[in-house]
């Protein structure tokens, strides 16, 4: 497993790149590290396009609950999942459906598309 990530406090954004096998313990460590870095509730791009994610239904449900509970009060905290295969996109869509009522969450085929979505969210917020 390899999870590498960066945090941009000015933009309230974390970008995670996963490669190889990734399991629930790996994601739990990332969540804890993100909290320690003061980035809980930030927007996140989770790029799993080069990963083999091994999560059970109960683990997926638990992570969607965590994401929903950690929505910031003054910010959308949007989540973008990047997947390379149709099967991964289906799993991501399941997570997004469970999370989307509290935090915007969508699945993309590229990191660039995820960034473009965040730009659209920013533009819409500036019009409000």
- What's the rounded Cα separation, in Å, for the pair 48 and 117? 17
Q: What is the pLDDT of residues 45-103, one digit of tens each?
A: 999 999 988 888 889 888 888 888 777 677 888 999 999 988 888 888 988 988 877 88
pLDDT of residue 128: 67
Give residue 30's pLDDT: 92
Task: Mention the CATH class of domain 2-127.
Answer: alpha beta
Alpha helices in the chain (DSSP H): 24-36, 57-69, 86-99, 111-127
Report in angstroms the alpha-carbon separations of 112 from 36, 61, 63, 76, 87.
27, 27, 24, 19, 20
The domains of the chain are located at 2-127
pLDDT of residue 26: 93
């Amino acid at each position: 497993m390899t999870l590498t990530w960066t945090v941009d406090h000015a933009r309230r954004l974390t970008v995670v790149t996963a490669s190889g096998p990734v399991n629930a313990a790996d994601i739990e460590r990332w969540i804890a590290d993100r909290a320690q870095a003061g980035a809980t509730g930030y927007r996140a791009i989770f790029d799993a396009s080069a990963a083999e994610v091994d999560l059970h239904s109960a683990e997926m449900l638990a992570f969607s609950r965590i994401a929903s509970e950690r929505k910031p009060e003054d910010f959308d905290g949007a989540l973008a999942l990047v997947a390379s295969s149709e099967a991964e996109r289906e799993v991501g869509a399941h997570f997004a459906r469970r999370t989307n009522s509290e935090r915007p969450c969508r699945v993309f085929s590229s990191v660039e598309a995820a960034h473009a979505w965040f730009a659209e969210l920013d533009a819409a917020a500036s019009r409000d």
